[in-house]
Structure formats: structure tokens, C-alpha cells
Amino acid sequence: MYRVLYRKYRPRFFADVVGQPQVTDTLRNELKSDRIAHAYLFTGSRGTGKTTCSKILAKAVNCLHPNNGDPCGKCEVCCGIDDGSIMDVVEIDAASNNGVDDVRMLREEANFTPVNTKYRVYIIDEVHMLSIGAFNALLKTLEEPPPHVIFILATTEVHKLPSTILSRCQRFDFHRISPQSIAQRLEEVCEKENVSIEHEAALLAAGVADGAMRDALSLLDRCMGNADHITEDVVRNTAGLADKSHLIALTDAVIDHNGAEAIHIIGRLYSESKDMARLCEELIEHFRSIMLIKTMKQPQEFLVMPENDYRRTKEQSEKLKLGFVLQAIDTLRNANEKMLRGANRRIEAEMTVVKLCTPETAVVSSDISELETRIAALEQTIKTLLTNPPPIHTAAKPSAANMPAKPAKRPSQAEMERLRKEAVPMTQWPDVVEEMKKYSRTVASGFEGSTAYISGRYVLVDSTNDICFELLRMPAQRDKMRDTIKRITGKEYKLGRYSYPDEVKSEDALSQLVSDFQSAGIPVEDKNKT
């Protein structure tokens, strides 16, 4: 049976593992000094060598003739582990064996001594998929396993593991493999398979793999099914990528504000069965390249592209401003998210390129609600200024903000009578209370149900809630209320009460006296005269 490349060329020794020296060198040194831990945790993105190193480590700790920390690969133990005939090395998929019962069974098996090897090794792949109960069942065994047991946990999402598990393991982080290392490995595999590959094609495949060697070998496997000589076009067609010239042409259309040409290019790519979401991702990468070129002095080490493409991309970067490039990346990312959520991909791609070709519509905000709030505030300010334009002062006066707050002085009774006679209801008072909620909902709640009147330079507040007037006595709160009223009305007012407690009591007492006289049969002609 045909064996796929990533299985056929899986490393058998630590020296063969590509791009992970921080892991392989440490493990070999520990094995040489016989410092073998009872639990290891391998974490990193997919295709970076976690399972491969787990199997190499399982062979190395049991090898009959170890060689400088590496397994020999020839003894009966190494060969038995490779072909699966030795049952002392167990590989468990935690995605399908994630229950408490599965872990309990594992604990029971761990008590038995190995038959053919020195150590019984349990490789638990995707360990983050275990349930909470399964983790709890594993804790004690993981902390103090039998001396003949080694656990190797592998995961792509280490943040999902409980801290109690992390603290009991020796952790190794696998990094994404660099494109240059992946390309070099692909060229070596092609040489062994008697297939020719261009260096630019290997770099392109490495870029598509995004740091995962397994993905790169899988893509190479498909390319080898299409041609014996692998070029950039073969890789692009196999991976369903848009040609770099199309990305350059789309960016040129954006630079020239030519929306019609951009839509024409999108239509041609769509007719060639190019995936629009993938095209959007490639445009994001292209604008990222432009961003790096405009930001860094030597961006080549971060860019994986042929020299000719780099030259053309650099020419485009000189015609675009950095601010627009950042907006373009943000716009494309939002479009890609909508495509992945089920939106019509072609329409979304066309709308996006038209936005980019029309600068006035390309502005994107990560927080639309914030923009709406700011626009509403500006509209309110403009409306207020148009209704009540500010007075023009001929001489500078000290601002109210710099004047010391004066305690509220109660007007005389005669002045209160005059103010009440001239008072008219303040129709904007509900807006003032609503505006107060923006800086304190607690303060605004004290004015719920209150009313207000305007009399000359005064705003007179009336309420049955004494909390409202307690707040009015506080200089800081009074100043905030005056500022709020000024924002709503455009005018400055003093604050006062519409009525005071003693006035209310005297009026109530007078009314009660008149009522008593009338009940006793004493005529009362004029209430005020009486």
C-alpha cells in the first residue's frame, strides 16, 4: 500500500526533527545523563513534531543500544515500537477516550510492569479534550506514577489544561517551523522521490503550510500527483491559490481607484473556481507584506517571496500610505469573517474591493458603537449651538471652572414668590436627567420623577424625593448639573428649589385652619385675608 509522504518521511531520530532544537537538544541531553522525567508535556501548533518526538522519546528510553541520546533504530525494541508489535508503548487519542472510565482503566494498566521494555510509555494525544473528571482521575497517577511508567501529553491548546496538570509535567514548547527550513526539507524529499522542484515552488508550499511540516508534505504529495516537475504554478493550482500576478493586479486597481477593473478580476478568478475566502486571506498577506516593507528597514527576513515579486510589492508600497494599508487589512479581515459565517463569498469579495477602491468608504472602525456615540454627541452640540449661539464677550472673564464653588444660598421668600410667578415648565428636563446617567446612574436616579421650571437665570427643581435636594447641596454635583444643563440648553443657569419644606408646612397649616373654620360654621370670605 502507498504510504503518504508525511508518514514515509517521519523522523526516526531527534537529529531528523526539523526546526525544534530547543526540544530535541534538551531531550537528548537528559537521556544521556539518565535524567528521565515521569511526565512530559509537548505543546505547539499542528504539524510541528509533537507526536513524532513523543514516539522517538518512547523508543529512546527503551532502546537497548542508545546512541548519544538517540534510539538506535535497529534493536528489537525500536523495531517493535515502529511496527506496533510491542504493547508497552500505548498511544491514546483523548478526543475519543476522554471519560473518567477510560482514565481509570489506564491507571489500572499502569500498575503492571512492562513485558518487553524498561518503561511502559503512555502517549496521550490532544490531552486538552479530557473531561474535568478524567483530569481529576489522572492527577494522582501523574504526580506519583509507578517507577516503570512515563506519561507524554501532547496538545495544541495548552491553555485548556488545568494548572494542576501543568505543574506536574516537564513542558516543551514546539515553535512554528520557518519557511526556509520547510522548503529545504521539501527539496530533500523530492530528491529522494526522484521529483524535481523549483526553489520558489518549495518556498510557496512552505508559506501555505504556515509553519506545519505535515501540511507542507501533504501539499507536496498532491503536487507530485499532478506533475513530475513542480513549479509555482503547480503549487498554486494544487492549493487553489490565486496567481501572484492577480494579487498585484488587484492592488494596482485599488491604487488607481478602478473599481470596475477590480470586479472584473474577481469575476475571472471566480470563473476559474478560485475560493473567495482564500483569495481574501492572500490579499491580507499581500497587504501585510506592504505594511512590513513600509515599516521595516530590512523586511526580507519576514517575507517569503521571490525577488521579482518583492520588487513589484515594494513599488506598490511606495504608492500607498501606511494608514490606508492598515485600514485595508482591517476591511479584508472583516470580509473574511463574514465569508466564514456564511455570507455570499463572491458578493462579499466584490463589495470589499469596491470599498478599497473608494477611499471615502474604506474607513473601518473596530467599534461601531463608539463611532455612533461620538456622532450623536457632535449632532447634539451642533443643534445646541444653532438654537442658542454663545454670546460674544468683549473682555475676558474668569471662567466658572476656575472660580471656587460657593455654597447654595437660599433666596428670600419674596424673591421665591417672584421666581415662582415667572417660572415656566422646563421641557428639556427629561433630557438633562438622561444625560446625567452618562456620568452617574446613581445621581440620576435621585432625580427620577422630578420636574423643573425656568425662571430668568434660575432652574428651579421640584421633587418629593429629599435625596434630590441633598445632591443639590453638594458643590461638585451642582457644578456637574449646571454643565449638563448647559450642554442641553446652551445657556448657563443657577440652580434652586421650587419650594422649601417650611413653606410647604405653612401652606398646609393655613389650609387646615381654613378647613377647621368652615367645619365650625365660621364664614371665611378670603383665604389670604383670613
Provide the CA 367 distance to its chain's centre, in angstroms. Answer: 13
User: Which residue bears the cell 511526565?
Assistant: 39
pLDDT confidence of residue 522: 54
pLDDT confidence of residue 451: 86
C-beta atoms surrounding 120 within 10 Å: 24
pLDDT confidence of residue 386: 65
Least trusted range by pLDDT, from 195-204, 221-230, 280-289, 409-418: 409-418
- The secondary element (H helix, E strand) that includes residue 452 is strand 451-455
pLDDT, one tens digit per residue, over 122-172 is 999 889 988 888 888 888 888 888 889 999 999 988 888 888 888 888 999
pLDDT, one tens digit per residue, over 9-23 is 888 888 888 888 999
Helix/strand/coil for 175: coil
Query: Taking the domain 5-174, which CATH number applies?
Result: 3.40.50.300
pLDDT confidence of residue 365: 41
User: Which residue bears the cell 422646563?
Assistant: 426
The C-alpha angle with vertex 326 and arms to 182 and 371, in degrees rounded to 5, equals: 140
pLDDT confidence of residue 42: 93
120 neighbors 150 (Cβ within 8 angstroms): yes
Grid coordinates in use for 303? Answer: 517575507
**208 vs 241: CA distance, rounded Å:** 9
Could you list the beta-strand ranges (E) of 273-399: none
pLDDT confidence of residue 409: 54
Nearest to 487 by CA among 394, 379, 408, 403: 379
Kindly report the length of the chain: 530
**Mean pLDDT for the chain overall:** 80
**48 vs 225: CA distance, rounded Å:** 24
pLDDT confidence of residue 368: 54
pLDDT, one tens digit per residue, over 246-266 is 888 899 999 988 889 999 999
Mean pLDDT to the nearest integer, 357-379: 61
Widest CA span in the chain: 127
What percent of the chain shows pLDDT beyond 90?
7
**The pLDDT of residue 66 is above 60:** yes
168 neighbors 139 (Cβ within 8 angstroms): yes
pLDDT, one tens digit per residue, over 296-322 is 888 877 776 767 778 888 888 888 888
**The pLDDT of residue 521 is above 70:** no
User: Which residue bears the cell 481509570?
Assistant: 104
What pTM value is reported for the model? 0.58
**262 vs 246: CA distance, rounded Å:** 10
Q: Confidence band (pLDDT; 50, 70, 90) for 367?
A: very low
217 neighbors 6 (Cβ within 8 angstroms): yes
3-class SS string, 73-130: CCCHHHHHHHHCCCCCEEEEECCCCCCHHHHHHHHHHHCCCCCCCCCEEEEEECHHHC
**256 vs 263: CA distance, rounded Å:** 13
Beta partners for 425?
Answer: 453
Mean pLDDT to the nearest integer, 498-507: 54
Q: How far are the Cα atoms of 40, 117, 119 from residue 64, in angstroms, in the given order?
A: 22, 9, 12
More confident position, 513 or 31? 31
153 neighbors 50 (Cβ within 8 angstroms): no
Provide the CA 447 distance to its chain's centre, in angstroms. Answer: 40
End-to-end CA distance of the chain: 118
pLDDT confidence of residue 529: 44
Grid coordinates in use for 358? Answer: 473608494
β pairing state of 149-155 and 170-174: unpaired
Beta partners for 174?
Answer: 44
Mean pLDDT to the nearest integer, 75-100: 85
- Phi first, then psi: what are they for 74, rounded to 5°? -125, -20
Grid coordinates in use for 450? Answer: 422630578
53 neighbors 23 (Cβ within 8 angstroms): yes
pLDDT, one tens digit per residue, over 469-484 is 777 788 878 888 888 8
Provide the CA 240 distance to its chain's centre, in angstroms. Answer: 28
| Fold (CATH) for 244-361 | Zinc Finger, Delta Prime; domain 3 (1.20.272)
Q: Where are the domains of the chain?
A: 5-174, 179-239, 244-361, 408-499
**504 vs 497: CA distance, rounded Å:** 12
- Phi first, then psi: what are they for 48, rounded to 5°? -105, 0
Query: Taking the domain 179-239, which CATH number applies?
Result: 1.10.8.60
Q: Confidence band (pLDDT; 50, 70, 90) for 507?
A: very low
pLDDT, one tens digit per residue, over 411-449 is 566 666 777 777 788 888 888 888 888 777 777 777 888
What's the CATH number of domain 408-499, 1.20.1080.10, 3.50.50.60, 2.40.160.20, 3.30.300.180?
A: 3.30.300.180
pLDDT confidence of residue 364: 43
User: Which residue bears the cell 387646615?
Assistant: 512
pLDDT confidence of residue 400: 46
Angle between helices 76-83 and 50-62 (to 10 degrees): 150
**The pLDDT of residue 227 is above 60:** yes
**58 vs 122: CA distance, rounded Å:** 9
pLDDT confidence of residue 500: 63
